[in-house]
Amino acid sequence: MAEKVDRIVSVNRYRCAYCGACVAVCNFGATELIETYLVIDEQKCTGCMICVKTCPVGALTPVEC
């Protein structure tokens, strides 16, 4: 299991294109598209920021806990 860090990912729902790029790269299953919403499971998110780097529209941002 990956080491937990003191940050999570926040979603700007107005900017999100719901393309699923973040879901495809998340190795921990922390991101999920449910209908027209991107949901990030804070319990599964390790703060690795791969999804933030992958998002083509910049809708994901790291947030310190």
What would the mean pLDDT of 24-31 be, rounded to a whole number?
96
Q: Which pTM was predicted?
A: 0.83
Q: Which residue do the tokens 């999804």 mark? A: 51
What would the mean pLDDT of 37-55 be, rounded to a whole number?
94
DSSP 2-55: PPP-SEEEEE-TTT-----HHHHH-TTS-EEEETTEEEE-TTT-----HHHHH-
CA of 11: how far to CAs of 1, 3, 5, in Å?
Answer: 24, 22, 18
Q: Is it the case that residue 59 has pLDDT exceeding 90?
A: yes
Q: Is it the case that residue 53 has pLDDT exceeding 90?
A: yes
How many other C-beta atoms are found inside a 10 Å radius of the C-beta of residue 42? 10
Asked if residue 1 belongs to a domain, the reply is no
Q: Is it the case that residue 38 has pLDDT exceeding 80?
A: yes
Asked if residue 2 belongs to a domain, the reply is no
In the chain, the number of structural domains is 1
- Specify the CATH number for the domain of residue 34: 3.30.70.20
Residue numbers of the domain that contains 13: 7-64
